[in-house]
Amino acid sequence: MRSHIAITRGVSASIARCELTHLERTPIDLELARAQHLEYERTLGRLGCDVRRLPTSEDWPDGVFVEDAAVVLDEVAVVTRPGAASRRGETAAVADVLSTYRRLAYIVAPGTLDGGDVLTVGRSIFVGLSSRTNSEGIEQMRRAVEPFGYTVSTATVEGCLHLKSAATAVDDATLLVNRRWIVDREFGSLELVDVDPDEPMAANVARVGPNLLYPSAFPRTRERLERRGFAPAIVDVSELAKAEGAVTCCSLILFAAN
C-alpha cells in the first residue's frame, strides 16, 4: 500500500455555477478543466498517493474542491460546515469515505468553517476568520483537535477567499505567503517566503508527503521556491483557477498508515 491517500472528486458539469467572491465570472472549458483535473490526480499518484475519487454531481458545482469539506489530521477528521450554503451538501460523501480511515468530528450550526481556511503546520493550526469561516466554527475546531495536542490560532484574512489563498506551508518551518492578505506577525517564528509581487495568487502550494505540488501559472514565485531548494511538481490548473480554486483545494491528503 502507498503511504498516502488522496481523496478527490471529479469536476461537476455544473461548475459554471460555482461560487465566486473575488473573481469575475469567465467561461470555464469543462473538457479542459476535467483533463487538467485528471492530470492533477495522476501527479498525486506519481507523488505516492492512492487516489480515491468520489463521484461528481451536478448538485455540487464546487464539489471538486474537496478540501473545504473536511480537515484531516492523523488522529481525527473534522467534517466542516461550509460557509457557502450552496456547498453544505458536499460534506456527506466526504465524511463517508473518511470514516474508513479516521474517527470523525463535526462542525455544527451556527459554526461555519471551510477547510481552505485551515492551515496545519506541525502541531500548530491556524484558522482564517474569513467570509466563510466564523468564530464559532473556529471554536468548535479548537475543541475537536486540542485533545490531540494541537494548538489552534485565529488568523486574519483580508482581500482573498481563504487563509490558504494567502499562506500555505512548504515545510514545517516555512510558509509561502502573500503578506497583503494576512497579518504576518500572527504566524510567530515561522519563516515567511513572499510570493512574487506580480503573482498575488501564488501563495497556494500543496504538500503531498515530502513533496510539493504547484501551479504552472506562477513561474516567478516557483523560481523563489527553487532557489531555496524546493522542487515542486508542476500542474496546470488554469480552468479551476477561474472557479477560484487552487492546488490544495482539489484533494484531501492523508496518511494511509493510521
Q: Which of residues 183-242 bind ligand CIR (CB under 6 A)?
A: none
Q: Is position 41 an interface residue for ligand CIR (rule: CB under 6 A)?
A: no
Is 162 catalytic? The answer is yes
With cell 461528481, the residue in question is 56
CA dist 65 and 115 (Å) reads 10
Residue 128 engages ligand CIR in binding (rule: CB under 6 A)? no
Strand order through the sheet with 103-106:
70-72, 76-79, 103-106
Decide if residue 65 touches ligand CIR (CB under 6 A).
yes
Q: Is residue 244 a contact point for ligand CIR (CB under 6 A)?
A: yes
Distance of CA 130 to the CA centre of its chain: 14
List the end-to-end C-alpha distance of the chain, in Å, as a whole number.
12
Q: Which of 18, 49, 160, 249 is catalytic?
A: 249
The one-letter amino acid code at 235 reads V
Least Cβ distance, residue 109 to ligand CIR (angstroms): 18
CB of 48 closer than 8 Å to CB of 59: no
* Cell numbers linked to 186: 500572527
d(CA 108, CA 51): 28
Applying the rule CB under 6 A, the residues between 4 and 33 that interact with ligand CIR are 18-19, 21
- CB-nearer residue toward ligand CIR: 41 or 68: 68
Q: Is 162 in the site for ligand CIR (CB under 6 A)?
A: yes
Instruction: Point out which residues bind ligand CIR (CB under 6 A).
Output: 18-19, 21, 62, 65, 67-68, 84, 87, 116, 162, 243-246, 249
Q: Which residues are catalytically annotated?
A: 162, 249
